[in-house]
Amino acid sequence: QSEGTLALFEELESEVRSYCRSFPAVFRKALDWTVWDREGNVYLDFFAGAGALNYGHNNARMKEKLVRYLLEDGISHSLDMATEAKERFLEKFRDVILKPRRMNYKIMFPGPTGTNAVEAALKLARKSTGRTNIIGFTNAFHGMTLGALAVTGNKYKRQGAGVPLQYAASMPYDGYLGADADTVAYLENMLNDSGSGVPMPAAVIVETLQGEGGLNAAGAGWLKRLEALCRKYGILLIIDDVQMGCGRTGPFFSFEPFGIEPDMICLSKSIGGYGLPMALMLMKPELDIWGPGEHNGTFRGNNLAFVCATEALRYWEDGEFEKEIAEKSTLLEGELKSIIARFPQLKAEWRGRGLMQGIAFPTEGLAEDVCREAFRRGLIMETSGTDSEVAKVMPPLTIDKASLKRGLRLLADSVEEAAG
């Protein structure tokens, strides 16, 4: 049955479709971290909608709020007109996220997806500094629209679109030149190299952990020094927390432990709570220089997403959720390291932070084989990295420990099988 459906996609849908190739099944329903296909096969979800399902599928608390809102004919689409649902979200975001962290930011709704948040940040950085260039880093991923793509360090995604790194430079990320190389000093030298004609950039855009680019982690020291460099040259610091935000690495904002203060912050994916499209761009108040309508779009006010997002923020009302994430992260790290230790011949390496961890396999194609094997065993997992070299474990943050362990046993079996 499913084969027929997949054939229909093949006939009708563009070749660009991708996840339906990695996961050849027709899915019917999902709850929390469990997914069912049409044949009744059951899968454990270690993919979590590429980070859009931090609170799991059909989260019961959000579902109840959403159903009630629909039954009361709550407004669904509103452009950026004022609605009660938006009011409740803004109040909750102020009270639960901004205030306790003493963060002073204005909030904008740039459109439905992560790339819209990035695009808005890049545009605003250009307008507010009067400069053009943006610094992006090696292996970064920021989205698929032209601006976001231009700061994305992935040739495969960029080259066909003819997007040059003309107004973006790909600078070495923390660790890219080896543990001992000082890549911030390298960047500063580039900025001072006026002879080469590199103009002073408007902004630096960076992920604290590269979700798509191979789970490379920026260290606290590197991020602090990057921030200091930005301040020295009047460059704006944009943190792309589209994938690492909303608790993926532990705290609500991934950069919280590092004591940096970004000028702009991009959020999307799990901010909508229920897997509904929603994005935010937070900016320091002094950057709020756009006039009304200078940056707009049709889908900036998805009230169904506001309803779920407001409920999702209740997970952050006290420190309990963050504590649970930390415990599960420790468990995950221990288990992944023990899988690595069981197969020393693979020379695999642990990567990650929080509930975004993975195993990097130097053997070409092995991470993909592991994920394929995992799927056969009922575990949904994707690879990360420009060469798909990392098998990435990204369960919903709400997953219980027993299910997490069960998935990791399936992963261990898949590594054993794929390694032959």
State the minimum distance, in angstroms, from the CB of residue 313 to ligand PMP. Answer: 19
352 binds ligand PMP (CB under 6 A): no
114 binds ligand PMP (CB under 6 A): yes
Whichever of 284 and 392 has its CB closer to ligand PMP, that residue is 392
Round to whole Å and give the CA distance between 95 and 331.
Answer: 31
Applying the rule CB under 6 A, the residues between 19 and 78 that interact with ligand PMP are: 50
Q: Which of 300, 311, 304 is nearest to 71 (CA)?
A: 304
Whichever of 37 and 351 has its CB closer to ligand PMP, that residue is 351
207 binds ligand PMP (CB under 6 A): yes
Backbone torsions φ then ψ of 209, nearest 5 degrees = -145, 130
Backbone torsions φ then ψ of 360, nearest 5 degrees = -90, 130
240 binds ligand PMP (CB under 6 A): yes
Among 242, 390, 393, 399, binds ligand PMP (CB under 6 A): 242
Round to whole Å and give the CA distance between 407 and 381.
Answer: 10
Q: Which of 193, 189, 168 is nearest to 177 (CA)?
A: 189
Among 54, 59, 113, 302, binds ligand PMP (CB under 6 A): 113
Cβ–Cβ contacts within 10 Å for residue 321, how many? 18
Round to whole Å and give the CA distance between 255 and 244.
Answer: 9
Q: Which stretch binds ligand PMP (CB under 6 A): 25-33, 194-202, 237-245, 284-292?
A: 237-245
Tokens 């991934």 belong to which residue?
Answer: 254
253 binds ligand PMP (CB under 6 A): no
State the minimum distance, in angstroms, from the CB of residue 104 to ligand PMP. Answer: 24
122 binds ligand PMP (CB under 6 A): no
Applying the rule CB under 6 A, the residues between 80 and 109 that interact with ligand PMP are: none
141 binds ligand PMP (CB under 6 A): yes
353 binds ligand PMP (CB under 6 A): no
Whichever of 211 and 247 has its CB closer to ligand PMP, that residue is 211
State the minimum distance, in angstroms, from the CB of residue 68 to ligand PMP. Answer: 27
- Which residue lies nearest ligand PMP, judged by its C-beta? 114
267 binds ligand PMP (CB under 6 A): no
Q: Which of 162, 351, 146 is nearest to 249 (CA)?
A: 351
284 binds ligand PMP (CB under 6 A): no
State the minimum distance, in angstroms, from the CB of residue 148 to ligand PMP. Answer: 7
DSSP structure string for 36-90: EETT--EEEESSHHHHT-TT-BT-HHHHHHHHHHHHTT---B-TT---HHHHHHH
303 binds ligand PMP (CB under 6 A): no
Binding residues for ligand PMP, how many (CB under 6 A)?
15
Cross-strand pairs, 35: 30, 43
243 binds ligand PMP (CB under 6 A): yes
Cβ–Cβ contacts within 10 Å for residue 24, how many? 12
Q: Which stretch binds ligand PMP (CB under 6 A): 21-29, 140-148, 225-233, 362-370?
A: 140-148
- Amino acid identity, residue 40? G
DSSP structure string for 111-161: -SSHHHHHHHHHHHHHHHHS---EEEETT----SSHHHHHT---HHHHGGG
245 binds ligand PMP (CB under 6 A): no
State the minimum distance, in angstroms, from the CB of residue 387 to ligand PMP. Answer: 17
**Token output for 57:** 């599928």
Among 37, 53, 57, 115, binds ligand PMP (CB under 6 A): 115
The answer to whether the CB of 140 falls within 8 A of the CB of 385 is: no
Q: Which stretch binds ligand PMP (CB under 6 A): 89-97, 136-144, 193-201, 308-316?
A: 136-144
State the minimum distance, in angstroms, from the CB of residue 217 to ligand PMP. Answer: 13
Long-range contacts of the stretch 79-85 (C-beta < 8 A, 24+): 79/296, 79/298, 79/300, 79/301, 80/109, 80/296, 80/300, 80/301, 81/301, 83/301, 83/303, 83/306, 85/303, 85/306, 85/307, 85/310
Tell me which residues touch ligand PMP (CB under 6 A).
50, 113-115, 118, 141-143, 207, 211-212, 240, 242-243, 268
